[in-house]
């Protein structure tokens, strides 16, 4: 008996998605709830499971197709036997022809059959570095390969990336005597739905909000000393490392409670104030930056905050974040310091009204009690919507965060 596999409900206000990857092909055996496809939505990638155990029948959509919630994208024959490779290949929809600018990989880097289930980013890394995916242990969900797995294997191998074969070019190479003798290549890659949405939201924030940024610097001495003193006991008791984000999340909570407008948002002609603190924490995912929400930060301790953030980071890496993880949030913290940023002007995450930007820690000479001393300093930035938040309120909120980090005892006694 054939069962239809339909696009599931993708989340509030999300009505469609894009086929990002087929994890199963016609003739493949599939178990109950085993993922058969990956759908890219505006916020996250969602895996579509099979409702029954059986054999994949027809695929009714190709990679890159946009499909609406409830649409039939494949069929599965319940309890059927897996088809032979030849039969499977015969029933598989033909792959689209590569673009003229797409580079061909050398024969030595040809992927095995297992590579057909790799994500586009992982597949490109496999071809670029000449790695056999079947020889690399995946750390992603269900043992799937991630881009980081491939890069680690390439580093361990110690080889330079495999040189791609020349690709056909639609434009003639410059013939001037000063031109480079090597052929210059251009690759065109369609933006993912997530990247398109990120671009639209960031541009919308600039067009709608009256954005302004205020800066300060923080002496990280007290926090660093606290971490060094208690990190082993903390890890032993809570089974999680004590990081900087827990300190900044709790410090931000003090600021948001004292300056409610920084934790509010504009809805039409109304201002919505929140008596809770849900902090969106920006983390890197293969498809771009995502901001899952740590909820009720004002009610959680350092250990639970650190566990939540670590879990989000892991699930962002293996692509298992859900729409529920991304929904809501009253304030955002973005840490560009992990990438080496000294200073930046972060952009708000609509409909939120403010975002805290963290940066790298570096030793600098500062004046303390009339003497020049070397201290580990960090620049912090608060970007805010000036339609709602006055400059005095923004500066006050950032100063509260600075004071709490420089004297962590304030977080314990609610100062």
Buried b (16+ CB within 10 A) or exposed e, 318-330: bbbbebebbeebb
Determine the longest span between alpha carbons in the chain, in angstroms.
Answer: 83
CB neighbour list of residue 398: distance below 8 Å, 6 or more residues apart: 214, 215, 216, 255, 356, 380, 382
CB–CB of 45/102 below 8 Å?
A: no
**Alpha carbons 253 and 263: distance in angstroms, whole number:** 9
Distances (CA, A) of 30 to 4, 37, 48, 119: 14, 12, 12, 19
Q: What are phi and psi of 360, to 5 degrees?
A: -70, 155
The 3-state DSSP class for residue 274 equals: coil
Verify whether residue 390 is a known catalytic residue: yes
Spatial CB neighbours of 2, under 8 Å, sequence gap ≥ 6 = 57, 75, 76, 77, 78
Which residues are within 8 A (CB) of 376 and not within 5 positions of it... i.e. 6 or more apart? 219, 220, 221, 224, 361, 362, 363
Take residue 92 and report the two structure tokens written for it: 């598989």
Q: Residue 65: what are its φ and ψ, rounded to 5°?
A: -70, 145
Which tokens belong to 40? 């890219």
Task: Check 113, 296, 386, 407 and give the catalytic one.
Answer: 386
Catalytic residue status for 386: yes
Catalytic residue, chosen from 42, 390, 403, 414, is: 390
Q: Tell me whether strands 72-78 and 2-6 are parallel, antiparallel or unpaired.
A: antiparallel
Phi, psi of 309 (to 5 degrees): -65, -40
Q: Which residues participate in catalysis according to the annotation?
A: 386, 390
């Amino acid at each position: 008996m054939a069962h239809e596999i339909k696009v599931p409900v993708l989340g509030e206000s999300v009505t469609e998605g894009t086929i990002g990857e087929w994890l199963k092909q016609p003739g493949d055996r599939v178990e109950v709830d085993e993922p058969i496809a990956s759908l890219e939505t505006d916020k996250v990638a969602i895996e579509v499971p099979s409702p029954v155990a059986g054999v994949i029948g027809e695929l009714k959509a190709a990679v890159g197709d946009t499909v609406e919630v409830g649409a039939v994208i494949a069929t599965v024959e319940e309890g059927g036997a897996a088809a032979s490779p030849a039969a499977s290949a015969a029933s598989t929809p033909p792959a689209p022809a590569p673009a003229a600018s797409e580079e061909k990989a050398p024969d030595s880097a040809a992927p095995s059959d297992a590579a057909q289930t790799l994500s586009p980013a992982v597949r490109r890394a496999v071809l670029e570095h000449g790695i056999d995916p079947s020889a690399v242990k995946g750390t992603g969900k269900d043992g799937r390969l991630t881009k980081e797995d491939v890069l680690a294997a390439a580093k361990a191998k110690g080889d330079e990336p495999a040189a791609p074969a020349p690709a056909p070019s639609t434009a003639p190479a410059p013939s001037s005597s000063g031109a480079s003798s090597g052929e210059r290549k251009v690759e065109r890659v369609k933006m993912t739905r997530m990247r398109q949405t990120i671009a639209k939201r960031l541009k919308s924030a600039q067009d709608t909000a009256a954005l302004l940024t205020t800066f300060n610097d923080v002496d990280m001495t007290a926090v660093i000393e606290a971490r060094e003193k208690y990190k082993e006991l903390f890890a032993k008791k809570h089974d999680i490392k004590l990081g900087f984000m827990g300190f900044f999340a709790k410090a931000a909570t003090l600021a948001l409670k004292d300056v409610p407008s920084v934790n509010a948002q504009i809805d039409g002609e109304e201002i919505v104030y929140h008596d809770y603190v849900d902090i969106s924490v920006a983390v890197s995912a293969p498809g771009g930056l995502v901001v899952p929400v740590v909820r009720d930060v004002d009610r959680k301790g350092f250990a639970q905050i650190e566990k939540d953030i670590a879990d989000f980071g892991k699930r962002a890496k293996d692509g298992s974040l859900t729409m529920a993880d991304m929904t809501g949030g009253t304030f955002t913290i973005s840490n560009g310091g992990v990438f080496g940023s000294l200073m930046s002007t972060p952009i708000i995450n609509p409909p939120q009204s403010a975002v805290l930007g963290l940066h790298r820690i570096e030793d600098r000479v500062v004046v303390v009690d009339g003497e020049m001393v070397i201290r580990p300093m960090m620049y912090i930035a608060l970007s805010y919507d000036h339609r709602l938040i006055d400059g005095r309120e923004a500066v006050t909120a950032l100063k509260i965060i600075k004071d709490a980090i420089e004297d962590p005892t304030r977080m314990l006694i609610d100062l």
